[in-house]
Every structure is written in C-alpha cells, then in structure tokens.
Amino acid sequence: MTAFLGTRAGRVLAWVAGVALVALLAVAVGRLMPSAPLLGVTVALVVLALGITAAEPAAVPLLVMPVLLVAARLGVGGLDLSISDAALLGATLLALVFAPRPFSPPMRNLLWLSALYQFATLFTVIANPYAENLIEWFQAWMLVAGALLVGWTVGRGGHAKLGLSLFLAAALVLALVTIAQGALQFARGQFGPVYVWWPYGMHKNFVGTALGFGAIVAYARPEWMGWSRRWSLAAFWVMALGILFTQSRQAILALGVVLLLVALRRPGAIDGVTSEAAVRQRRSKAIVLAVVPALVLVGTLVKDQVEEGNQFNSVFQRIEWFQETLAFWAQSPWVGHGLRFWTVGRGLGYQPPNAELEVLASAGVVGLLGFLALVVGTVVILWRVDPVYGTVAVAVVLSRLVQSQLDLFWVAVQTSVPFVVAGVALGVEALERERHELRAAEALRARPAVAVP
C-alpha cells in the first residue's frame, strides 16, 4: 500500500480522496451550524487540523503540549472529559496516521507493553459489561500509547525544543498562579495547603504533581531542549516553590527521590563515546543539600500525624482505604470489579489512592500482572536508553510511580504527561541516530576509492 501511494497514480488518488473528504466536511459544517453550532465548530476544527497536519505532522501535537496541564472539565453533551484528555485524543488520532515511521526499538517495545496491559485488562471489561468500564479501558490506552505517539511525533519531527518549552511555559504559569494565591492566603494568616481556585479549582495534589513534572524536566535540562543552565535552574526553583505552597507530600517525596536519581546519574555516550552534549549535561550535585531537608520534612509531617492518633487524618484514612480496597478485591480476585467501578455504585465509593491496589480491585490479579509489566518494563527500557535522552524520560515516569504509591494513578493529566515526555525523548534519540548514520554514510561515500593493484 505504501509503495502504491508513492507512485504518481497513488498520489493523484490521495489528492482526490483528500479533496472529496474536505468537501464533505465543509458541507457538514454548513448543515450543522444553524442547528448544532457547537458540533459544527468541532467539525470545522477537525478540517483545520487535517489541513495543518498535511503541511506539518507535528503541528497539532505541538499545540497540545501546553494544554496537557489543563485539567478543567468540558462538561459538554454530558461528557465528563477534561480539556487535556480532549486535546490528547485529537492529537492521538492524528499521530496514529502521521507519526513518523519506523519506530525505534525502545518506542516499539513501550507500545507493546501498553498493548499487553490493554490485553490484561480486557478480561475485566468482558466480565463487567458497563459503559464506564469500556470507556476507561480505551482512555488508559490513550493515556499511555496515545501519549507516547504524540510525544514521539514532536520529538521525531525535530520540534523537541519547542514542544518542551511550551510545556514548561504552561507549568511556570501554573506555578506563578499558585505562588500568588499562596502569598494572598498566607497574608491573611492562613498557612494551610494552597488549593488553587483561579482560573478554575485545582486540588493541591494535582498542582503539586504537575509542577513536579515541570521541575524535573527543568532540572534534567537535556541538551537538546536548548535551555541555558541559568534559565533552567530559575524555572526549577519557581516550580519547586509552587510545590511547597501546595504542601503536597506525595509530590515533594516524588520530586526529592527523582532529583537524587537525576543528580547522581552519569551522562550518556553514543556508540561508546561520551558526546560533547553529554559533558555539558553534567549537573551540580548541590541539589542534594536541598532534597534531604525536604524529605526529612515529609517524614516529620507523617510522623506527627501518626503520633497525633487522629483516625480521620490523611495517614489513618489511607490505611483504612487500603484495608477496604483489599477486602473489596477479595470478592473478585482474578478479574476485579471493572475499571472505574467507584463511579457506578459498585462497592467502594472512591478511587483507591494507590496504583497497585486500584488496578487490583479494578482488574484483579490478571490486570495487576499486566500493570506491573507495563510500569516495570517502561522504567527498564527507558533506563537503558542513552542518558542524554533517557534520563529525563525515566525521571518523569519514575516520579509518577513514586507519587502514585500514596495517591491516584489513572488520572488524566498526571498519567499522560510522563509518557508524552518519554515519547519526545525517544523521538529525539531516533532523529539524532538517523542523522548520525546519514553523516557516517556521506563521509564513507566521500572517501576516495583505493585502487587495487
């Protein structure tokens, strides 16, 4: 099929089909606007996206990068969908068609791991037939495989610097809003956690996790991102301050653990030779001096809550939730009670605040095995990638896993962002290796032929 599309007849057929599709969509927009303006605008945006993508496949994924942190709900047509999810869905559908091929071995392996998890959780979808179960099953694929494809399209298309810069710009805006609202709150003598209320309400753990991703990317500062050390550290400290205002212990713990990893990991080498970029990528280990007190602070806060003995504080509340989740899982140990069972009145009325327990109750032992294969396999694969590209990828994914031991895992923004960043890193690696091979081939062709006597 690919060979046929490369011929003149194939290109003509593709043009005819494209023109016909655009014409049909234009007619649809004209018919829908009077009776259903919102749907008409949506179709018009689809036409625009297709046109832009035809000129630049990475355009829509690039536009999505700053929107990944927008967790506000759309609330349109009865759909409980975040703006982040809606944008990621549109970018994923386009990336499925236009993402540069072939995929690199690490990228291909991650997609296979995602497929394995989807297969493992398919059993609970069949055993528990309700709409939310099937929708969540598809959404889980989008948050992992779809996010990887979107990130890959940005990185492999040569737009990693712009893509991560847009993402960090959005994270900085969120950090500044959090700091400003925290300062107002503290000025009133209220020193509790900051729950951002403008431009829309956001939970402290969401804000802390989102800013944690941004802080990790800024501190990891991959050479190919193009940010100077000064700007990266300034962005890091702004986002770290925002996290402190949220007082999200999970986010502080995850950031501290991952910063130690990034600070102590050696720079990478391509083809056995330490690159100039890798040398410039060495980071100051003085960050450890700030990380250790932060981890001690989290430990002290938890210790105080335990000694307080209040059964309603977050520590004892989580212990109670863990016990209830295990008891609920025991009622259907192999395939669980279905994805998002808490939304349809099945047993527990809440999403378990632990990644493994949530999957265990939702998809049983079978689903948990698939989940462990996904997360452990992802960390192993990214760890083996040249650190010039892989350090930032493994760091954001690992931070999510650490944070989700004490909080929710399958939550739109908090799950998709690490895999988008990982996809960007893998795309850049594949692009650089292709360029390296082309330069090597050109140098070989340029060498003068040696006459054989």
Distance between CA 362 and CA 352 in Å, rounded? 10
Radius of gyration for the chain, computed over Cα atoms and rounded to the nearest angstrom: 24
331 domain residue, yes or no: yes
Q: What is the pLDDT of residue 83?
A: 85
The count of C-alpha atoms lying within 13 angstroms of the C-alpha of 345, restricted to the half-sphere facing its C-beta, is: 0
SS3 for 73?
Answer: strand
Residue at 286 is within a domain: yes
Position 171 scores a pLDDT of 97
pLDDT at residue 279, as a whole number: 45
Residues 270 and 377 in one domain: yes
Domain boundary residue among 35, 55, 75? 55
Model pLDDT, residue 142: 95
8 A C-beta contact, residue 130 and residue 153: no
380 plus 306 within the same structural domain: yes
CA–CA dist 69, 88 (Å, integer) = 11
Same domain, 143 and 241: yes
Residue 440 belongs to a domain: no
421 and 347: one domain? yes
Query: Same domain, yes or no, for 352 and 423?
Result: yes
SS3 273: strand
Based on the fold, state whether residues 234 and 262 are members of the same structural domain: yes
Residues 51 and 62 reside in one and the same domain:
no
Evaluate whether residue 49 is within a structural domain. Answer: yes
Same domain, residue pair 46 and 157: no
159 in the same domain as 50: no
Are residue 39 and residue 69 in the same domain, yes or no?
A: no
In whole angstroms, give the CA distance from residue 135 to residue 18. 30
**Domain assignment of residue 445, yes or no:** no
Residue 337 structural domain: 56-431
Determine the pLDDT at residue 76. 54
Please list the residues that pair with 270 across neighbouring strands.
Answer: 273
Query: Containing H/E element for 302?
Result: helix 287-308
Number of domains in the chain: 2
Residues 113 and 37 grouped into a single domain: no
Q: Looking at the structure, tell me whether residues 352 and 262 fall in a common domain.
A: yes
In a domain, 171, yes or no: yes
Does residue 124 lie in a domain region? yes
**Side-chain half-sphere of 235: how many Cα atoms within 13 Å?**
28
Distance of CA 235 to the CA centre of its chain: 19
**pLDDT < 50 stretches in the chain:** 1-6, 14, 269-281
Question: Considering the domain boundaries, does residue 437 fall inside one?
Answer: no
